[in-house]
Amino acid sequence: MFHPKIADIAATRHILKTFDLRASKRLGQNFLIDSSVVQRIVDAAEIAAGDEVLEIGPGIGTLTQGLLEAGANVTAVELDKKLPAVLEKTLEGYENFKLVQGDILKVDIEKLMPPNFKVVANLPYYITTQILLTLLEKKLPVTKIVTMVQKEVAERMTAAPNSKIYGAMTVAVQFRADVKVAFEVPPESFLPRPEVTSAVVVCDVRESPFKVVDENFFIKVVRASFGQRRKTLVNSLVGAGFNRQKVSAALEVSNIASDRRAETLSIEDFVNLSNELLKSL
Ligand code: SAM
């Protein structure tokens, strides 16, 4: 069957017109119109025939088509109720495609996907962080997460300690994955154009090399530490309800000076601190 390429401005305009659709700002709809970007995402995800892929927000099927052409089995979750009818047409004839209409933050991904799946997505920017943290914190059997995000988010995901952009999200992502920015994508590659530059980030998910006793508690400590960025770590943790003496003792055992701020701590420091704090509970 002949499939015209969806990743093209004329094809995208034609599809939107045919189905009387307008890109929804509320749902973060910026459709890719650059086929080279689609190909580079497929390449960054190292898609091989038979790969199981979860796509978040297929839209009108642009990236989906690239994944399907590379031989992936794609399960896509799309919130917009208008899009299943569109995808039925734009991806007509592809047999290895399954669509679930729903909210990615609510569907049971574990039930939906077989083990060793990849996530590939041009994410809706209004919930990027929530989606990434959900994927990583649920400890799903996912091997690779390749996502288009705002450039600023990509920078936060890959930040090193001692920078303003190093935060709770950085630690949560790097705790579970090796993260790198694959390439940047300009606003012209989308319809409509977003106001920001985007970037594709590759997360290679691995067993964490860090020895955390209780992961939920670790995340709680990290979030509390960054809760009030202008305060010292001690004051942020006390402000979040931790006992001052216990925090001071845990910092001392972990070799972390009491006047440090959260953004100066390495992931290892947070691991040691949370393990010590947990002992004192
Ligand atoms: N994949 C398409 C592309 O690359 O052209 C569309 C990407 S667009 C940036 C984001 C997509 O995510 C939209 O289709 C939007 O409707 C969908 N979306 C928004 N919120 C969602 C949610 N909570 N769960 C699933 N999909 C969502």
Q: 69 C-alpha to center of ligand 1: Å?
A: 20
- Supply the pLDDT for residue 208: 86
Strand order from edge to edge, sheet including 73-78: 97-101, 73-78, 52-56, 117-122, 142-150, 198-205, 177-185
* Token output for 165: 């952009």
Q: Quick check: bond before 84 cis, omega within 30?
A: no
The per-residue pLDDT for range 43-82, each reduced to its tens digit, is 999 999 999 999 999 999 999 999 999 999 999 999 999 9
Nearest CA to ligand 1 atom 1: 58
Question: Could you tell me if the CB of 269 is within 6 A of ligand 1?
Answer: no
pLDDT at 117: 98
> Is residue 73 within 8 Å of residue 53, measured between CB atoms?
yes
Which of 27, 36, 125, 190, when mutated, tests ligand 1's pocket best, judged by the most ligand atoms within 8 Å of its CB?
A: 27
Residue 9 near ligand 1, beta carbon < 6 Å: no
Least confident of 37-46, 164-173, 221-230: 221-230
Mean pLDDT, range 21-50, rounded to an integer: 97
Q: Ligand 1 mean position to 191 CA, how many Å?
A: 13
- Alpha-carbon distance of 82 to 21, in angstroms, equals 8
> Whose CA is closest to 123, among 90, 160, 84, 79?
79
In this model, does residue 3 exceed pLDDT 90? no
For ligand 1, the distance from its centroid to the CA atom of residue 281, given in whole angstroms, is 42
φ/ψ of 199, rounded to 5, equals -150, 150
Ligand 1 centroid to Cα of residue 84, in Å, is 12
- Please give, one letter per residue, the 3-state secondary structure of 40-106: HHHHHCCCCCCCEEEEECCCCCHHHHHHHHCCCEEEEEECCCCHHHHHHHHCCCCCCEEEEECCCCC
**202/124 Cα distance (integer angstroms):** 17
Tokens (6 digits) for 41: 């995402």
pTM for the model stands at 0.95
**Rounded distance between C-alpha atoms, residue 4 and residue 15, angstroms:** 11
Give pLDDT, residue 1: 54
Pocket test for ligand 1, best of 5, 56, 82 (most atoms within 8 A of CB): 56
pLDDT in tens, 194-251: 999 999 999 999 988 999 999 999 999 999 999 987 889 999 999 999 999 999 999 9
Q: Report CA(79)–ligand 1 centroid distance (Å).
A: 7
What DSSP assignment string belongs to the chain?
-----SSSHHHHHHHHHHTT----TTTT--EE--HHHHHHHHHHTT--TT-EEEEE--TTTHHHHHHHHTT-EEEEEE--TTHHHHHHHHTTT-SSEEEEES-TTTS-HHHHS-SSEEEEEE--GGGHHHHHHHHHHTT-SEEEEEEEEEHHHHHHHT--TTSTT--HHHHHHHHHEEEEEEEEE-GGGEESPPSS-EEEEEEEE---SS--S-HHHHHHHHHHHTSSTTS-HHHHHHHTT--HHHHHHHHHHTT--TT--GGG--HHHHHHHHHHHHHT-
Q: How far apart are CA 233 and CA 262, in angstroms?
A: 5
Q: Is the Cβ atom of 128 under 6 angstroms away from ligand 1? A: no
- Give phi and psi for 11, each to the nearest 5: -65, -40
Is the CB of 104 inside a 6 Å radius of any atom of ligand 1?
A: yes
What is the token pair recorded at 279? 């002992």
Expressed in angstroms and rounded, the spacing between residue 219 Cα and the centre of ligand 1 is 27
Residue to mutate (ligand 1; options 13, 26, 35, 80; most atoms within 8 A of CB):
80
Ligand 1 atom closest to residue 57's alpha carbon, by position in its atom list:
12
Does the Cβ of 61 fall within 6 Å of ligand 1? no
